[in-house]
C-alpha cells in the first residue's frame, strides 16, 4: 500500500533532510555555520545572557501574580536560534515573530492530537480530519513567512559579511551557480527545510525543558532552596557564566535530572534502516522505520535508582560532586544525535540559573505543591500540561 511510504504529518518537514546525501551535506553545512555564528562559544553566551535580561523584565511585569510561562519562554528561546539563522533577534511584540512561534507551538500540540495520530497510522481513512488541516495551514503560513524573510535578506545580502545561516546558504548557492553547478543540494527547498528544522527544533525543545524545570522547582521547594543557596554562595548577585557550571554541581544535577525525568522527545525521530541489520539477535530489514525509544533508557529501572521520581542525586556522588551517567541521552546518540546539543545545554544552564537567581517560583495561590500536575501533554515533544506559576522577585 502506498500509504506506508507517506511521511507521517510530523515528518513532513524533515523529509528532504532525511535522505542520505542531502542530509549529510545540510547537516555538515548547518553545524559548521552555526558554530561560525557562535554556537557553543562566547558570542552565543552573550546573546543568551541578553535574552535572559529581556525575559526577566517580562516576568517582573506579573508582579508575583500567577501566569502561564509558555509564551514568554518560547519567545526568549526562539530568539537565540533566530539570531543565528536570520542574523537578528525579534521584539516579543513583533506580530511576524510571535505568529511564527505560536503556530509552531500549536503544530507540536496538534501532532499529538488523537485525530492526527490516527491519520498518521491510516492516512487514507482519516484524510479529512480538521486537526490535520490546521496543522498543514500552519506549516504553509510559516513557509510563506520564511520566503518573505529570505527575500528581504537576499535584497541586502553582502557576501563579505554574512549575518546568519540564511546569508551563508545564499552565498554558497550563488557561488555554486556562478561556477555552473546546477544540481547541488543548495536549492531553495533545502534552504526552507533546513531553516524550519532549525527553528522548530531550536525553539520548542529547549523552552519545554525550561518550563519543566520551573514547574519542578515550584513542586519541590526544598530542592529550589538548595539551588538558590548554591547560586547565592558561589555566584552572589553577578551574572552567571557558562564557566561557572563546574562550581555549581547541585544546580547542574537538577538541570540534568529535569531532562531525564521529563524525557521530552520520548521516541526521538523516526529513522529508516539503510541496509539489513541484526540487532540484539533480531533481523531488521533494509527500509524498516525504527523509533529509538529514549524514554526506555532515561527511565530504565536497571540504570536509575528512582527512575520515576525527581531525584537530582542521580547525578551526584557521595561528596556532592557532579557525575555523568551513560544512560543520560535526551539528545539521542549516534550519527543523528541532536545537532543543537551544545547550544541547548548552554541555553538551559544560563536561562535556568539566571531565572532562579532573580525569582522564587511557586504554585498559584490556593494550589498546593502536591496539586501541581506533572502529567505531560502529548505532541512530538512532551511538555507540561497548561499551568500557571508565580515568579516572586528575589532582588
Ligand atoms: C533540550 C533541548 C533539545 C533536546 C532534548 C533535543 C533532542 C533532540 C533529539 C532527541 C533529536 C533526534 C535525534 C535522533 O534522530 O535520534 C534531535 C534532533 C535534532 N535537533 Fe535537537 N534537541 C534540543 C534542542 C535543539 C536545538 C536548540 C537545536 C538547534 C540547533 C536542535 C536541532 C536539532 C536538529 C537540526 C536535529 C536533527 C538532526 C539530524 O537529523 O541530523 N535541537 N534533537
Instruction: Kindly give the distance from the C-alpha atom of residue 200 to the centroid of ligand 1, in angstroms, as a whole number.
Output: 9
Is residue 75 within 6 Å of ligand 1 at its C-beta?
A: no
| pLDDT score at 116 | 72
Confidence of residue 246 (pLDDT cuts 50, 70, 90): very high
| pLDDT recorded at residue 263 | 97
Pick from 337, 338, 339 the residue to mutate for probing ligand 1's pocket: most ligand atoms within 8 Å of its CB.
338
Report if residue 195 sits inside a domain.
Answer: yes
Model confidence at 236, in pLDDT bands (50, 70, 90)? very high
Asked whether 205 lines ligand 1 (CB < 6 A), one says yes
DSSP element (H, E) containing 249: helix 249-262
Residues 51 and 58: beta-carbon distance below 8 Å = no
**pLDDT-derived band of residue 18, with 50, 70 and 90 as boundaries?**
low
User: What are the tens digits of pLDDT across the range 301-336?
Assistant: 999 999 999 999 999 999 999 999 999 999 999 888
As given in the structure block, the three cell numbers for residue 114 are 488523537
pLDDT number for residue 215: 98
Cβ–ligand 1 contact at 77 (below 6 Å): no
SS3 content of the chain, % helix, strand, coil (to 5): 55, 5, 35
Q: Extract the C-alpha cell encoding 368.
A: 498546593
Quick check: 263 and 382 in contact, CB under 8 A?
A: yes
Is residue 119 predicted with pLDDT exceeding 90? no
Task: Identify the band that residue 126 occupies on the pLDDT scale cut at 50, 70 and 90.
Answer: low
Asked, for residue 209, whether it belongs to a domain, the answer is: yes
Label residue 94 left, alpha or beta by phi (over 0 means left) and psi (-120 to 50 means alpha): beta
Q: Is the distance from the beta carbon of residue 38 to the nearest atom of ligand 1 less than 6 Å?
A: no
Instruction: Name the residue with the closest Cα to ligand 1, atom 20.
Output: 338
CA 39, distance to chain mean position in Å, is: 14
60 — phi, psi (to 5°)?
A: -65, -30
Residue pair 189/16 in contact (Cβ under 8 Å)? The answer is: yes
Residue 370 has which C-alpha cell?
502536591
Note down the domain range covering 36.
Answer: 2-240+358-393
CA angle 48, 53, 54 (to 5 degrees): 95
Return d(Cα 234, Cα 227) in angstroms, integer. 11
Tens digit of pLDDT for each residue in 327-339? Answer: 999 999 988 899 9
51: pLDDT strictly greater than 70: yes
Q: What is the band of 14 on the pLDDT scale with cuts at 50, 70, 90? A: very low
Check whether 162 is labelled as a binding-site residue. no
Residue whose grid cell is 536509575: 304
Position 290 in a domain: no
Report yes or no on 322 lying in a domain: no
pLDDT at 315: 98
The percent of residues above 70 in pLDDT, for the chain, comes to 93
Specify if 294 maps to a domain: no
The whole-number pLDDT of residue 22 equals 87
Looking at 6-20, 254-268, 356-370, which range is the least confident one?
6-20
Task: State which ligand 1 atom lies nearest to the alpha carbon of 333.
Answer: 16
Ligand 1 and 312: CB distance under 6 A: no
The answer to whether residue 253 is domain-embedded is no
Q: In the chain, how many domains are there?
A: 1
E-only strand ranges, 69-135: none
Which protein residue has the closest C-alpha to ligand 1 atom 21?
338
The whole-number average pLDDT for the span 123-147 is 82
CA of 35 to the centre of ligand 1 (A): 15
Give the cell for residue 290: 525504527
Strand, coil or helix: what is 310?
Answer: coil
CA of 270 to the centre of ligand 1 (A): 12
Distance CA 76, CA 79 (A): 5
Using CA atoms, how far apart are residues 200 and 330, in angstroms rounded to an integer? Answer: 17
Is residue 159 very low, low, confident or very high in pLDDT (cuts 50, 70, 90)? very high
Give the mean pLDDT of the chain. Answer: 91
What's the CATH number where 133 sits?
1.10.630.10
Q: pLDDT for 342-379, tens place per residue?
A: 999 999 999 999 999 999 999 999 999 999 999 998 77
Provide the pLDDT for residue 106. 87
Look up the pTM and report it.
0.93
Question: How much distance in Å is there from the Cα of 169 to the middle of ligand 1?
Answer: 20
Domain membership of residue 345 (yes or no) is no
Please tell me the distance from the alpha carbon of residue 236 to that of residue 228, in angstroms, as a whole number. Answer: 10
Residue 49 has pLDDT above 80, yes or no: yes
Whether 327 maps to a domain, the answer reads no
Rounded Cα–Cα distance for residues 38 and 40 (Å):
6
Amino acid at each position: 500500500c502506498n500509504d506506508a511510504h507517506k511521511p507521517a504529518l510530523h515528518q513532513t518537514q524533515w523529509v528532504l533532510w532525511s535522505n542520505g546525501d542531502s542530509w549529510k551535506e545540510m547537516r555538515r553545512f548547518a553545524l559548521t555555520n552555526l558554530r561560525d555564528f557562535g554556537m557553543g562559544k562566547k558570542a552565543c553566551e552573550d546573546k543568551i545572557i541578553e535574552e535572559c535580561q529581556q525575559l526577566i523584565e517580562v516576568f517582573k511585569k506579573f508582579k508575583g501574580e500567577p501566569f502561564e510561562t509558555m509564551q514568554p519562554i518560547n519567545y526568549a528561546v526562539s530568539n537565540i536560534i533566530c539570531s543565528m539563522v536570520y542574523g537578528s533577534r525579534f521584539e516579543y511584540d513583533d506580530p511576524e515573530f510571535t505568529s511564527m512561534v505560536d503556530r509552531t507551538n500549536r503544530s507540536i500540540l496538534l501532532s499529538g492530537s488523537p485525530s492526527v495520530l490516527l491519520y498518521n497510522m491510516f492516512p487514507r481513512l482519516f484524510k479529512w480530519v480538521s486537526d490535520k488541516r490546521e496543522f498543514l495551514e500552519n506549516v504553509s503560513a510559516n513557509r510563506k513567512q520564511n520566503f518573505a524573510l529570505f527575500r528581504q535578506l537576499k535584497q541586502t545580502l553582502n557576501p563579505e559579511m554574512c549575518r546568519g545561516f540564511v546569508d551563508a546558504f545564499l552565498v554558497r548557492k550563488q557561488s555554486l551557480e556562478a561556477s555552473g553547478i546546477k544540481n547541488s543540494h543548495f536549492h531553495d527547498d533545502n534552504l526552507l527545510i533546513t531553516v524550519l528544522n532549525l527553528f522548530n527544533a531550536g525553539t520548542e525543545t529547549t523552552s519545554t525543558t525550561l518550563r519543566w524545570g520551573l514547574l519542578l522547582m515550584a513542586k519541590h521547594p526544598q530542592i529550589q532552596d538548595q539551588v538558590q543557596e548554591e547560586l547565592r554562595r558561589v555566584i552572589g548577585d553577578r551574572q552567571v557564566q557558562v564557566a561557572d557550571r563546574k562550581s555549581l554541581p547541585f544546580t547542574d544535577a537538577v538541570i540534568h535530572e529535569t531532562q531525564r525525568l521529563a524525557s521530552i522527545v520520548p521516541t526521538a525521530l523516526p529513522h529508516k534502516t539503510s541496509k539489513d541489520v541484526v540487532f540484539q539477535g533480531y533481523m531488521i530489514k533494509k527500509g524498516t522505520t525504527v523509533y529509538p525509544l529514549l524514554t526506555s533508557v532515561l527511565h530504565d529501572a536497571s540504570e536509575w535508582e528512582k527512575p520515576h521520581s525527581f531525584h537530582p542525586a542521580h547525578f551526584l556522588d557521595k561528596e556532592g560532586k557532579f557525575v555523568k551517567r551513560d544512560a543520560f541521552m535526551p539528545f539521542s546518540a549516534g550519527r543523528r544525535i541532536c545537532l543543537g546539543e551544545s547550544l541547548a545545554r548552554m541555553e538551559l544552564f544560563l536561562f535556568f540559573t539566571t531565572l532562579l537567581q532573580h525569582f522564587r517560583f511557586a504554585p498559584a495561590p490556593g494550589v498546593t505543591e502536591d496539586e501541581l500536575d506533572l502529567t505531560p501533554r502529548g505532541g512530538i515533544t512532551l511538555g507540561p500540561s497548561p499551568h500557571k506559576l508565580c515568579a516572586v522577585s528575589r532582588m
